Amino acid sequence: MKKIFFILTILITSNYINGQNKEWLKVIREHKTVENITYFFDSNVPYKEREFDIELCRKSIKEDLAIINEKEYKKVIEIEFLTSRKEMLKYSGLGAQGLAIFERDIIFMIHKNQNSPIKHEMMHMISMDKWGDTAESSHWMNEGLATYAGGTCSKYTLEEIYQYFMQSGKLIPMNTIANDFYSANDMITYTQSAFLVKYLIDTFGFDKFSKLWKEGYNNFNKIYGFEFEQMQNQIKSELKIKYPKDIEFNWEEFNKGCI
Ligand SMILES: [Zn+2]
């Protein structure tokens, strides 16, 4: 009897140390709230790097607001910083660098020291907070604006990129951009849209832009008073003067995107 009790005790205690089952490992996430945003990090991320990300978020908000000519962003949201694309896929369902889910007030983002997606993802949240979700045929405006704000990881300006797409016949037809945005090469769709968004804002302002955002591509003529194709031809002739010869462009390098 005594022997049996001893064996049982051994069996029961073998997986427990100080009341904890050693088969179970702790995953600790820590969070901090600064103004309207709560930031979540894995406890392994050094404090210095967390503070850097938070500061970058705050700076990005200011810069994003300036781009769209707005004053403040007060929406209460959460930002989950994850450590790898594998983790992104697990939690957000998408193996991207970042994902802004407007209707859930949450951003998933990979914590990285270079080429951070913070400014891009913050712009999604801010612009949708100001103008609402985009029409089905305006996803290109949402991604274009976020790409214009967040940058492209390449050494070329948006104008040079657009010029290269024109000279090499890579421009994607506007019908595809508007109605089937996610079907084409994303290095082209995102940057082509970013250039067009910047052109629309710089040339015609935000009133019309935010209308097109909400009402969709089919209403372009109604909102702007001319066909989109007419604007594309105008851009073509403006760039022809600026770039009379083809520009040098490393497509292979560019097409790798942000690594
Ligand atoms: Zn995006």
pLDDT tens digits along 124-164? 999 999 999 999 999 999 999 999 999 988 999 999 999 99
Distance (Å) from CA 122 to ligand 1 centroid: 9
Global pTM exceeds 0.75: yes
Distance (Å) from CA 37 to ligand 1 centroid: 19
Give domain 29-131's CATH number out of 3.40.640.10, 3.40.50.280, 3.30.365.10, 3.40.30.160.
Answer: 3.40.30.160
Are 61 and 69 in contact, with CB atoms under 8 Å apart?
no
Distance (Å) from CA 5 to ligand 1 centroid: 62
Domain ranges of the chain: 29-131, 136-255
Sheet strands (E) in 84-184 = 98-101, 106-110
Model pLDDT for residues 71-107, shown as the tens digit of each residue: 999 999 999 999 988 999 998 888 888 999 999 999 9
pLDDT at 5: 46
Distance (Å) from CA 214 to ligand 1 centroid: 17
Distance (Å) from CA 116 to ligand 1 centroid: 12
Distance (Å) from CA 19 to ligand 1 centroid: 46
Distance (Å) from CA 182 to ligand 1 centroid: 11
Are 128 and 102 in contact, with CB atoms under 8 Å apart?
yes
Q: At a CB cut-off of 8 Å and minimum separation 6, what does 94 contact? A: 88
Distance (Å) from CA 119 to ligand 1 centroid: 10
- pLDDT range class, residue 258, cuts 50, 70, 90: confident
Distance (Å) from CA 145 to ligand 1 centroid: 9
% of residues, the chain, pLDDT over 70: 93
Distance (Å) from CA 3 to ligand 1 centroid: 65
pLDDT at 8: 46
pLDDT at 259: 67
Model pLDDT for residues 213-248, shown as the tens digit of each residue: 999 999 999 999 999 999 999 999 999 999 999 999
Distance (Å) from CA 251 to ligand 1 centroid: 22
Alpha helix (H) ranges present in the chain? 2-14, 47-67, 85-92, 118-131, 139-150, 158-167, 174-179, 186-204, 206-215, 220-224, 228-242, 251-255
| Residues in the 5 Å CB sphere of ion ligand 1 | 143, 146
Distance of CA 137 to the CA centre of its chain: 18
Task: Please give the mean pLDDT across all residues of the chain.
Answer: 92
Distance (Å) from CA 160 to ligand 1 centroid: 21
Distance (Å) from CA 170 to ligand 1 centroid: 21
- pLDDT range class, residue 52, cuts 50, 70, 90: very high
pLDDT at 155: 92
Model pLDDT for residues 166-202, shown as the tens digit of each residue: 999 999 999 999 999 999 999 999 999 999 999 999 9
Distance (Å) from CA 124 to ligand 1 centroid: 7
Type of residue found at 37: I
Q: How far apart are alpha carbons 105 and 125 in whole angstroms?
A: 8
Cβ neighbour number for residue 18 with a 10 Å cutoff: 5
pLDDT at 6: 46
Distance (Å) from CA 15 to ligand 1 centroid: 46
Distance (Å) from CA 60 to ligand 1 centroid: 15
